[in-house]
């Protein structure tokens, strides 16, 4: 593949793949391209920084709107790499002013399109025939233009509508050139920045670069989409477009069309009789399933990649995912440790939580945890409040940055995309509902998995929740666990909990649980009937005949649950 660096510059072959050292040598051999681009980037960023420094503190809304437009125009003019940075910022309402956020969201899929003639030539070169032969109807303009490609809504000869994504021209060269420059600037400026990452910015940029080059191979994206669809095949609340393999190549990707509404503005969703809260719930639950169950996740769930669809499945709205270029996997060990970290946070076991940070690589194994424990309790425990539902994830992200700076925390490179996915999901939720508390969805999800005890790991975590270090039953923890489920939704949720709980308690997998219950009830050579009475009373209140009957009725007639 060849590409022109600028008008009047001879075509330059763009090597394949991302290799930072080789790319640096490649660009150094072309000083005209390097110097010209570097000067342009520095001029644009310096001009933007000066404008923000002079006017950033203004209370005039019009001034801030103009600054937001300035940020948008600057990132757009700098191209795909910088647009990707802006996309990440557009998901962070806690870091970016609302006046600027409104502009940055346009970076998701509202960018200038490249010429139609170029797109048509790419399709013909990749698919071996002109669009008139391949499609019954192909439009004269794209429905969306993003940083790496643009999408057309086309009609197949069999009457099905499809999304045809066509890659922007010369992307390998453009990405390679800009990644070298960004990497150089990061290495030069890193010592001046107040960061405590535990590794170099160049490592973050290298991960970013590898991800970008994976994104521009649409064959990998097609594989990702099919794998993601298989994981959610039994979940009607999540829709994944079908890949049209015969019309997909490295630079063209064709999938079935998702007829939905972007998860961008609450008012638009409500005007179309879609419930933003139910949709947020689905997004969060699906994200948790990806991280904590499947170990394979969508790393870019920004508003342009998620669509609201009509319909409900219990308390969950229906959501469609698109754009599977940025995906990643999480190891089983990390997945189980993260699940345990949620449990430890809820139980306020900050010593175990600190150990989770060590296990995950956020703290070095030789780190003295004693000075960190009070800080963890102050930052995380304070945000948790007296009630699980009071947990505010936004507060955590704001205050945790202080911990990272003051204590020897570092972010492992393998967590870069996980953090991006969580941050994007959080930003989307807060955009639709500024008062949304992610733990009110996350904890019930974990609670159901714990009470079901459907894996050995979950049974081990359940015992950790229910019993203290001395083996005594923690009634208040079980009460909290069940209380969150009751507050989370209609009584239909209690029916599967009853079934799973009874199956676990009396089945072969519940031997450890039965043994621990017996040991906690018989202590010091006598029967502790107070624990037994408290447990029986809790179960009677939670699973009363009236509640179970109400749940059964709601299950038989879903309309009663929605009322």
Both structure tokens of 283: 């997004």
Both structure tokens of 486: 């009751």
Both structure tokens of 9: 């510059």
Point out the catalytic residue in the list 170, 178, 300, 349: 300
How far apart CA 101 and CA 264 sit, in angstroms, is: 12
* Residue 393 pLDDT: 52
Q: What is the mean pLDDT of each run of 10 residues along the chain (563 residues)?
A: 39 62 92 93 93 87 89 91 78 66 73 93 96 96 91 96 96 93 84 54 80 91 97 96 96 96 88 91 91 90 89 92 92 86 78 91 88 82 52 55 66 76 79 76 76 73 75 73 60 60 70 73 64 74 64 54 46
Q: Read off φ and ψ for residue 541, nearest 5 degrees.
A: -65, -40
Query: In 3D, which of 460, 220, 435, 504 has the Cα closest to residue 336?
Result: 460
How far apart CA 126 and CA 129 sit, in angstroms, is: 8
* Residue 43 pLDDT: 95
* Residue 516 pLDDT: 73
How far apart CA 277 and CA 429 sit, in angstroms, is: 9
Query: In 3D, which of 385, 348, 337, 386 has the Cα closest to residue 465?
Result: 348
303 and 262 Cβ atoms separated by less than 8 Å: yes
Pairing of strands 526-527, 296-298: unpaired
How far apart CA 449 and CA 72 sit, in angstroms, is: 43
Q: Where would I find the beta strands (DSSP E) of 149-243?
A: 149-155, 161-167, 238-239
* Residue 555 pLDDT: 55
Secondary structure string (H, E, C) spanning 106-135: HHCCECCCCCHHHHHHHHHHHHCCCHHHHC
- 525 in active site: no
Q: Which H or E run includes 403?
A: helix 393-406
* Residue 491 pLDDT: 43
* Residue 488 pLDDT: 56
* Residue 250 pLDDT: 94
Domains present along the chain, CATH in parentheses: 111-169+217-257 (3.30.200.20), 332-439 (no CATH), 466-562 (no CATH)
């Amino acid at each position: 593949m060849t590409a022109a660096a600028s008008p009047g510059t001879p075509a330059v072959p763009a090597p394949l793949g991302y290799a930072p050292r080789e790319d640096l040598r490649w660009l150094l051999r072309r000083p005209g391209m390097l110097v010209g681009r570097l000067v342009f980037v520095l001029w644009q960023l310096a001009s933007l920084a000066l404008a923000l420094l002079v006017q950033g503190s203004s209370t005039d809304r019009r001034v801030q709107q103009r600054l937001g437009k300035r940020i948008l125009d600057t990132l757009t003019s700098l191209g795909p790499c910088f647009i990707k940075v802006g996309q990440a910022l557009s998901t962070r309402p806690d870091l970016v002013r609302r006046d600027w956020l409104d502009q940055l969201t346009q970076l998701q899929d509202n960018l200038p399109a490249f010429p139609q003639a170029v797109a048509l030539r790419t399709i013909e070169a990749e698919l071996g025939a002109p669009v008139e032969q391949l499609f019954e109807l192909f439009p004269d303009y794209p429905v969306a233009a993003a940083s790496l490609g643009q999408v057309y809504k086309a009609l197949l000869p069999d009457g099905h509508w499809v999304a045809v994504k066509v890659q922007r021209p010369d992307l390998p060269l453009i990405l390679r050139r800009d990644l070298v420059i960004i990497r150089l600037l990061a290495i030069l400026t890193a010592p001046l920045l107040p960061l405590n990452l535990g590794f170099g910015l160049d490592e973050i940029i290298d991960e970013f670069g590898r991800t970008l080059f994976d994104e521009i191979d649409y064959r990998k994206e097609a594989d990702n989409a099919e794998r993601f669809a298989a994981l959610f095949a039994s979940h009607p609340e999540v829709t994944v477009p079908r890949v049209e393999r015969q019309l997909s190549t490295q630079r063209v990707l064709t999938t079935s069309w998702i007829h939905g509404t972007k998860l961008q503005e609450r008012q638009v969703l409500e005007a179309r009789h879609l419930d933003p809260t139910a949709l947020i719930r689905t997004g969060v639950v699906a994200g948790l399933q990806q991280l904590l169950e499947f170990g394979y996740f969508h790393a870019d769930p920004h508003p342009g990649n998620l669509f609201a669809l009509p319909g409900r499945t219990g308390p969950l709205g229906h959501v469609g995912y698109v754009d599977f270029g940025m995906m990643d996997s999480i190891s089983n060990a990390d997945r189980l440790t993260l699940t345990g970290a949620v449990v430890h946070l809820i139980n306020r076991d900050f010593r175990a939580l600190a150990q989770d940070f060590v296990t995950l690589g956020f703290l070095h194994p030789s780190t003295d945890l004693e000075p960190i424990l009070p800080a963890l309790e102050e930052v995380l425990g304070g945000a948790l409040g007296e009630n699980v539902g009071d947990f505010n994830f936004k507060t955590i992200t704001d205050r945790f940055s202080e911990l990272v700076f003051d204590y020897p925390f570092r972010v492992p490179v393998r967590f870069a995309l996980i953090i991006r996915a969580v941050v994007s999901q959080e930003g989307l939720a807060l955009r639709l509902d500024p008062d949304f508390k992610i733990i009110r969805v996350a904890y019930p999800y974990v609670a159901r998995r714990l009470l079901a005890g459907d894996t050995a790991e979950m049974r081990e975590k359940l015992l950790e929740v229910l019993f203290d270090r001395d083996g005594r039953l923690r009634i208040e923890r079980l009460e909290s666990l069940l209380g969150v489920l009751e507050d989370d939704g209609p009584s239909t949720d209690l029916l599967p909990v009853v079934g799973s709980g009874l199956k676990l308690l009396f089945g072969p997998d519940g031997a450890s649980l039965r043994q621990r219950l017996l040991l906690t009830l018989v202590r010091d050579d006598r029967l502790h009937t107070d624990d037994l009475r408290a447990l029986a009373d809790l179960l009677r209140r939670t699973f009363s005949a009236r509640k179970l009957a109400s749940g059964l009725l709601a299950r038989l007639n879903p309309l009663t649950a929605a009322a």
